[in-house]
């Protein structure tokens, strides 16, 4: 998950090493004073190009999913996240079972809104898909498709404080200082699988450790009577980088035995755990 970009680095090029092309233009400035203006413009352009390349980032990593009740290894998630200057632009996730069989994929884009992505989740083997097709100031258009009921659509009004799907991570990321300080934050959560939206809240519930490093735990749950029938999400974060380290709760992937989503513990270890498949799928 995206970590904060050092703002100083993206303000002035002199904080970065200029590329060789810029060094050659600087040499022109020294040798031919008459070329100063042209050379300085070239240096500025090259430094800006260098900064743009450094600000654009693609992160690739694995998520390791376990059954929340039994601890059995269930599946692997393969992530590609595209970022620019610390902002999550979009990406792609592939899902593979423990034997390496591809289960499905999800694509998402935050071009329309930083917290409500346009996305499509597809699980062909289960005959299931869902997503958000349009995000605008007026509303959020959603769909889901099953073998039993075909394609269904719905829309909800666009709320000021709203998140959907993986965008809720970006929302928590943005509000991490308040959460670390013990504040409760609230938002409207659009759920494509239900073609509806609900009031949710998030708060810190304790300190913990992950891979022997300090971390915090957050609890995300409905901000209504639904919390008595809907299990909360328990999230572990690095409070400094704001990286998501572990997720406990409902999954995107359906259990073929029940047709319902797994309840999982998803861990983002820095190295593959011993019980992960020996031949992991390639990073996209």
36-55 and 20-31 helices cross at what angle (nearest 10)?
170
The pLDDT value given to residue 229:
87
Q: Please write the tens of the pLDDT for every residue from 57-90.
A: 999 999 999 999 999 999 999 999 999 987 899 9
If you search the block for the tokens 């901000």, which residue do you land on?
A: 223
d(CA 102, CA 120): 16
Global pTM value: 0.79
pLDDT at 157 over 50: yes
In 70-116, which residue ranges form alpha helices assigned H by DSSP?
Answer: none
Region 206-219: mean pLDDT is 97
Angle 277-283-284 from CA coordinates, rounded to 5°? 135
pLDDT digits 0-9 by tens, 214-240 = 999 999 999 999 898 889 999 999 999
**Rounded Cα gap, residues 188 and 199, in angstroms:** 5
pLDDT in the model for residue 38: 44
Can you give the pLDDT at residue 86?
A: 78
Q: What pLDDT was estimated at residue 16?
A: 26
Segment 164-205, tens digit of pLDDT: 999 999 999 999 999 999 999 999 999 999 999 999 999 999
Band (pLDDT 50/70/90 cuts) for residue 5 is very low
Query: Which residue is it, tokens 């915090």?
Result: 216
């Amino acid at each position: 998950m995206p970590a904060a970009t050092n703002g100083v680095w993206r303000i002035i090029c002199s904080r970065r090493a200029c590329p060789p092309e810029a060094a050659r233009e600087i040499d022109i400035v020294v040798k031919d004073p008459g070329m100063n203006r042209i050379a300085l413009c070239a240096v500025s352009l090259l430094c800006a190009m260098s900064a743009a390349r450094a600000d654009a980032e693609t992160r690739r990593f694995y998520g390791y999913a376990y059954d929340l009740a039994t601890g059995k290894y269930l599946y692997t998630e393969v992530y590609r996240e595209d970022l620019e200057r610390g902002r999550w632009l979009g990406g792609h996730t592939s899902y593979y079972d423990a034997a390496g069989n591809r289960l499905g994929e999800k694509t998402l884009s935050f071009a329309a809104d930083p917290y409500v992505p346009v996305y499509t989740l597809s699980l062909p083997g289960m005959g299931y898909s869902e997503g958000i097709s349009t995000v605008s100031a007026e509303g959020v258009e959603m769909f889901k498709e099953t073998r039993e009921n075909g394609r269904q659509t719905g829309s909800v009004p666009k709320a000021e404080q709203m998140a959907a799907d993986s965008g809720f991570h970006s929302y928590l990321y943005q509000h991490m200082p308040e959460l670390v300080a013990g504040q409760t934050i609230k938002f409207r959560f659009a759920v494509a699988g239900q073609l509806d939206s609900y009031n949710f809240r998030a708060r810190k519930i304790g300190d913990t450790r992950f891979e022997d490093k300090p971390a915090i735990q957050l609890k995300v749950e409905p901000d209504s009577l639904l919390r008595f029938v809907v299990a909360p999400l328990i999230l572990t974060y690095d409070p400094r980088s704001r990286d998501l380290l572990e997720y406990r709760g409902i999954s995107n992937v359906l259990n073929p035995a029940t047709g319902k989503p797994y309840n999982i513990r998803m861990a983002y270890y820095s190295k593959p755990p011993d019980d992960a498949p020996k031949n992991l799928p390639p990073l996209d």
